[in-house]
Structure 1
């Protein structure tokens, strides 16, 4: 065997030895980052104060007060002792605080179930006002109003028909109920001329509009 052949064989043997007897380490690295906290929003409605009834009959000489939202002249009354006669008119305000927190939160206030009906010579109706005492009855759609909170995006807050609420106003919506006893309905009036049912509202989340 010549020297050239011996050199080739030695080289092959050396490669085989390296392949079978040596290990290679792979690199690795670990990285951690701070976690995050996700906080839920809020949807809530609460009654504000106890409704006060006023006698707002026109022409009363003792009209020493005004109703809190509509500003009608009158005086406070206790329905347990107040005795109505044809031509009288009474009014009360039911106020609610709406709390909405959420970037994509819109909620409908449902007043369609207000039990305000005519009975025994008395007729009743209601109007809706926002927290600034601006009438928004015209924004009712099927007895419902769509509210958005202060965290909502510009597209929600700017949508036509949506009513914006904030975190500071004590009452965001007022339901003003008026009961009238027409003078030409005297024959229809009985001992119990009118019984007002529950005045309640509900708030339900809806898809943003």
Structure 2
């Protein structure tokens, strides 16, 4: 046998020996389960409107001072008018270390008024360290710009106004 053939055979034998000890071809193995319990569960964070006696539409920028509107679809806004929706919302909070915020978003209302309609959130704002179910009040004031010179006979779709409960990331998990 030539020297190069002997060297190649020796390298191949060494590779087979190393592969056998690398664990990929081992026949014997064992494992153990992670101790400390049968498992964990995830929590829940949800929001649902709770129709209370005070929930609804009101004239003006304050539901407290404004006259109640019994049917918002009959309202005919004129420049300078404001209407406010005040709602009560039940929060379901089931979990540890939750932090959340409540936001009112009116950016998606459907209208052709060219920016002459503004939606201003009212109510709760940010909630942090929520540890139990609770009820919050939130809503929005819609104001028709008093300087508007256009926009007669337009229909405004209010279904784009949303109240959102969103989990925020807590600063840190509690110490063990």
What TM-score, normalized by structure 2, do the two folds share?
Answer: 0.55
- Contact 2:104/2:140 (<8 A) preserved: no
Following TM superposition, the consecutive aligned residue runs of length 4 or more in structure 1 with deviations greater than 4 angstroms are 35-40, 108-114, 116-119
Query: C-alpha distance in 1, partners of 2:166/2:146?
Result: 41
Aligned counterpart, 1:72: 65
- Contact 1:46/1:98 (<8 A) preserved: yes
Aligned counterpart, 1:190: 152
Query: C-alpha distance in 1, partners of 2:86/2:68?
Result: 14
Query: C-alpha distance in 2, partners of 1:38/1:112?
Result: 34
Count of residues paired in the alignment: 132
Query: C-alpha distance in 2, partners of 1:197/1:119?
Result: 15
Query: How has the CA–CA distance of structure 1 residues 103 and 183 changed in structure 2, closer, same or farther, with 3 Å as cutoff?
Result: closer
What TM-score, normalized by structure 1, do the two folds share?
Answer: 0.48
- Provide the alpha-carbon RMSD of the alignment: 3.5
Q: Is 1:92 aligned to residue 85 of structure 2?
A: yes
Aligned counterpart, 1:18: none
Instruction: Give, in angstroms, the shift of residue 44 of structure 1.
Output: 2.0
Structure 1, residues 28-80: CA drift from partner, whole Å, max 9, x if none? Answer: xxxxxxx88966543222122285211228xxxxxxxx72xxx2332324222
Instruction: Give, in angstroms, the shift of residue 92 of structure 1.
Output: 0.8
- Contact 1:124/1:177 (<8 A) preserved: no
Structure 2 unaligned spans of 5+ = 1-36, 172-176
Query: C-alpha distance in 2, partners of 1:110/1:182?
Result: 23
